[in-house]
Amino acid sequence: MRNKVTMQQIADAAGVSKFAVSRALTGKSGVSETTREMIIRTAGQLGYFKNTAGLGKPANGESHKEQYITDHRKGTGTIVVLFPNIRYQNMDSLYWGPVFEGISARLNEMGHDILTLTEPSSEKIFSLLNPDAIQGIITVGTVSVSLLLEFQRLQIPVVMVDHIEPVFHCDTIFSDNITLMREMMNGLIGKGYRKFQFVGNIKEAPSFMDRWTAYRMALDEHGIKCPQKESLLGYLEDIDMIHSIHEIPPEELPEVFVCVNDITARFVIEELHKLGRSVPDSCAVTGFDNVETDQPILATVDVNKALLGKRAVDQLIWRLSHPESPYERLLIQADLIHRDHYALTK
């Protein structure tokens, strides 16, 4: 039997003091939110919460309580939709807006009440809401570990759209990013392109990492060597990506900038234009998500955003009736769009 994970072990792994670990895990002040998130994630990765009462599966003798909660939530109740990062994930977004519309439309079809929360915290959310009145939760985009663990403690079913968290297991809904990016790359390579650079903060979202992985897979499969400019991958602010583009000499421009999404593609096109390098005369640019239809983007993926939202609702309703079934990751296919009139002028 595995020994219990201690706070000192968590502190050593996270590179912080035992005091900071104690404050973070008990929800007390004295540590920043960034540090708290890092400590909680580290604790989860070490298996700390599996040893803590109230988190994860109930201890022996508490199965009747779990069954009561499950049966209770099969009935009426409110479905909560969380937009944790209001700056990027909001209903006005060209990407996230249609996702929410899909969620809302499906819940209305089924006659469920819906409550939307933005930038929630585990300290505030349940001071405003009665957990027993929540039938389930759909999260849209990135959500904090501490909030997810609170849902786990309360045994509230969760479905996440476009996000995964290693220390929290639940059903997830994604576009089939790897298949779609490989198809895009195969199409570009088939048209004769050989010089590429990938652009996007691949650590920002699991979907971005999947697209980067698929990009590399396609190059490897075709035996194409493209030394990657690392500063185009892990930038913290858009200005860092802009500086990286400005540093590329004209003679070293790739034939195609493969961007993590259409928003990034637009940034790249605008910065190239400022440098006097028009697209597609100087190089081509691709995107993903199909939200920038007025830009000279050579290829993109028309993600069915509303369907992502609808399928999240379907999965949550199914989960309420099948609480013991293994968690699922649903991958939604999409249409690949090629705009040959934006091909590189050679």
Going residue by residue through the chain, which has 346 residues, state the pLDDT in tens, using 9 for 90 and above: 346 778 888 888 778 888 888 888 777 777 887 787 778 777 776 777 654 433 334 334 344 334 434 444 455 578 999 886 654 555 567 888 899 999 999 999 999 888 888 766 655 666 667 788 889 999 998 888 888 888 888 899 999 999 998 889 999 999 999 999 999 999 999 999 999 999 999 988 999 999 999 999 999 999 999 999 998 997 667 778 888 999 999 899 999 999 999 999 999 999 999 999 999 999 999 999 999 999 999 999 999 999 999 999 999 999 999 999 999 999 999 999 999 988 887 6
Task: Check if the beta carbon of residue 202 is closer than 8 Å to that of residue 190.
Answer: no
Say how far apart CA 32 and CA 38 lie, in whole Å.
Answer: 10
Say how far apart CA 345 and CA 283 lie, in whole Å.
Answer: 8
Q: What is the DSSP string of 28-92?
A: -SSS-HHHHHHHHHHHHHHTGGGGSTTSSSPPTT-HHHHHHHHHHHHSS-EEEEEE--TTTSSTT
Q: What is the pLDDT of residue 335?
A: 97
Q: Is the peptide bond before 280 cis (omega within 30 degrees of 0)?
A: yes
Both structure tokens of 183? 């198809």
Both structure tokens of 18? 């035992």
DSSP-derived pairing of the beta strands 134-140 and 158-161: parallel
Task: Check if the beta carbon of residue 304 is closer than 8 Å to that of residue 332.
Answer: yes
DSSP three-state, residue 229: coil
Say how far apart CA 206 and CA 115 lie, in whole Å.
Answer: 26
DSSP three-state, residue 196: strand
Task: Check if the beta carbon of residue 120 is closer than 8 Å to that of residue 82.
Answer: yes
Say how far apart CA 259 and CA 198 lie, in whole Å.
Answer: 6
Architecture of the domain spanning 177-303+336-342: 3-Layer(aba) Sandwich (3.40)
Q: What is the DSSP string of 134-157?
A: EEEEEEES---HHHHHHHHHHT--
Q: What is the pLDDT of residue 62?
A: 40
Q: What is the pLDDT of residue 3?
A: 62
CATH of 74-175+306-333, one of 3.30.70.20, 3.20.20.100, 1.10.760.10, 3.40.50.2300: 3.40.50.2300
Q: Half-sphere exposure of 129 toward its Cβ, with a 13 Å CA cutoff?
A: 26
Task: Check if the beta carbon of residue 135 is closer than 8 Å to that of residue 79.
Answer: yes
Say how far apart CA 117 and CA 83 lie, in whole Å.
Answer: 6
Chain-centroid distance, C-alpha 226: 27
- Helix (H) or strand (E) holding 337, with range, is strand 335-338
Say how far apart CA 210 and CA 172 lie, in whole Å.
Answer: 14
Q: Which pairs from 290-297 meet CB under 8 Å and 24+ separation? A: 290/262, 290/337, 291/94, 291/95, 291/261, 291/262, 291/263, 292/94, 292/262, 292/263, 292/265, 292/266, 295/262, 295/265, 295/266, 295/269, 296/269, 296/339, 296/342, 297/262, 297/265, 297/269, 297/339, 297/342
DSSP three-state, residue 171: strand
Q: What is the pLDDT of residue 53?
A: 36
pTM of this structure: 0.79
Q: Outline which parts of the chain fall under CATH 3.40.50.2300.
A: 74-175+306-333, 177-303+336-342
Both structure tokens of 156? 């509230």
Q: What share of the chain is helix, strand, coil (3-state, %, to 5)?
A: 45, 15, 40
Ramachandran sector of residue 121 (left: φ over 0; alpha: ψ -120 to 50; beta: rest): beta
Say how far apart CA 118 and CA 287 lie, in whole Å.
Answer: 28
